[in-house]
Amino acid sequence: MKLTHSWVSGGRELTPENIVCVRRGARDPYTFDVTTLDTFDVLTLTDGARNVVLDALAQEANGDALALFVEVTGTRGAGYAYDLYFSEVSNAPEGSAVGVDGEVTIVVPEASVARLRGSRLEFADEGGGGLVLVNPNVPTPEEANPGVPADILALGLDGPLGSIAVVVLDEQVNPSIASHGGRADLVAMNEETKTAYVKLSGGCQGCAMSRLTLSQGIETMLREAIPELVSVIDVTDHASGENPFYAKD
């Protein structure tokens, strides 16, 4: 069983991403009572989240035999993307971390353990109520930007071309697409080859036409501000880092 909003807020069938939010910032104080287990420090549940999970398990014919599986499935923006679902403990992949919080058995696959360690699952009343995964861990630059070579990421954004591109995106591009929930960020600039690596997020990701329009707008604005720019690579659409949406002849 996937953990969807249908059993949290009265029948709205949404994906897990809609109910699992990411609140980053490990220094923020905990706002709920947390059950701390010395033997399982990967993920804890607040009382509210535990009750929601137990209520959902009670609706399952074999709820007593099921565990809450939590795993990282990729990245989304500056954070991780997650999948939460019920399955039998016997289905846990080899190397998984298994713990018990109250009456809830939790399974975290091995590849997700380090990325989730220290996290907590809360229940928030906002927006009709839902589960919120608070994770102090964030993706590495390489994880968040798989289309950009590691040596390019290491260059940073502080060079002269990168500094100009950041200003253009922040002051011209993003205000124009914010109403659609979209955002464009410069993740790297190769000052030597004059190549900009741009990542799109939010409402601009889902539609091919909107991506095309947005990429053309970014191209125009960046070229006007940086005439010497050779190429702009959209790492959102092309994980290999190829097929730039603008390449100077």
Write out the DSSP string of 51-90: HHHHHHHHTSTTGGGEEEEEEEEEEETTEEEEEEEEEEGG
What pLDDT does residue 204 have? 56
What share of the chain has pLDDT > 70, as a percent? Answer: 72
Q: Whole-prediction pTM value?
A: 0.64
Give the range of the structural domain holding residue 89, as residue numbers without chain letter: 5-139
What is the pLDDT at residue 148? 76
Mark whether 18 and 135 lie in a shared domain.
Answer: yes
Q: What is the mean pLDDT of residues 218-233?
A: 91
Same domain for 127 and 10: yes
Answer yes or no: do 122 and 214 share one domain. no
**Which two structure tokens, joined as six digits, stand for 129?**
């109520």
List pLDDT tens digits, range 133-148. 999 999 988 888 876 7
Q: Are residues 115 and 166 in the same domain?
A: no
What local confidence, expressed as pLDDT, does residue 199 receive?
83
Sheet of strand 246-247, all strands in order from the earlier edge strand to the far edge: 182-190, 195-202, 231-234, 246-247
162-201 pLDDT tens trace = 999 999 999 998 888 777 777 888 989 999 999 998 888 7
In a domain, 145, yes or no: no
Q: CA-based angle 152:156:159, to the nearest 5? A: 105
Confidence of residue 208 (pLDDT cuts 50, 70, 90): low
CA angle 229, 233, 235 (to 5 degrees): 150
pLDDT tens-digit series, residues 2-30 = 553 323 322 222 233 333 333 333 333 33
